[in-house]
Amino acid sequence: MTAKAEIHIPINSDSDIVTARQQGRALAQEMGFNGSDLTVISTAISEIARNIVEHAKSGEIILNAVNSPGTVNSPGKIGLVVIARDKGPGIADIALAMQDGYSTGKGLGVGLPGSRRLMDEFEITSAPGIGTTVTMKKWKR
């Protein structure tokens, strides 16, 4: 199966958020995701990219297509991976940050928990003073 090149999108300002979610949608569309998944994917990208701008100032979003090869017994599946990483202040209490409605800023506090609900897989690693990396996946149905 074709290996697609990674797409790197630097995130420095609010207009980069628009670029990131549009590129994510374009890649997902090319991969054959259906209409409601396109919206779901770009919404999650928008939230996670905004967290970079709002809480870490700058960072990057990496988009990638992955295959999980099939066997005779289970069909292979393809998925879209979104990685957001920054070298910002990091998150001291991840469990707290993942709670609905929790925000240290003026946000609604749904970005992290909501993106986890929207995507199939969600992983966050963060260390104070070092930065934050969010990795999310959506599998094609």
CA dist., res. 109 & res. 116, Å (int): 13
Q: Which stretch binds ligand ADP (CB under 6 A): 9-17, 28-36, 44-52, 60-68?
A: 44-52
> Which among 58, 56, 45, 52 has a CA at the least distance from the CA of 19?
45
55 is a contact residue toward ligand ADP (CB under 6 A): yes
Q: Is 22 in contact with 131 (CB distance < 8 Å)?
A: no
Helix (H, G, I), strand (E, B) or coil at 9: strand
Site for other proteins in 7-66 (CB under 8 A): 14-15, 17-18, 21-22, 25, 35-36, 38-40, 42-44, 46-47, 50
Q: Which residues bind other proteins (CB under 8 A)?
A: 1-5, 14-15, 17-18, 21-22, 25, 35-36, 38-40, 42-44, 46-47, 50, 70-72, 75-76, 100, 106-108, 110-111, 113-115, 117-118
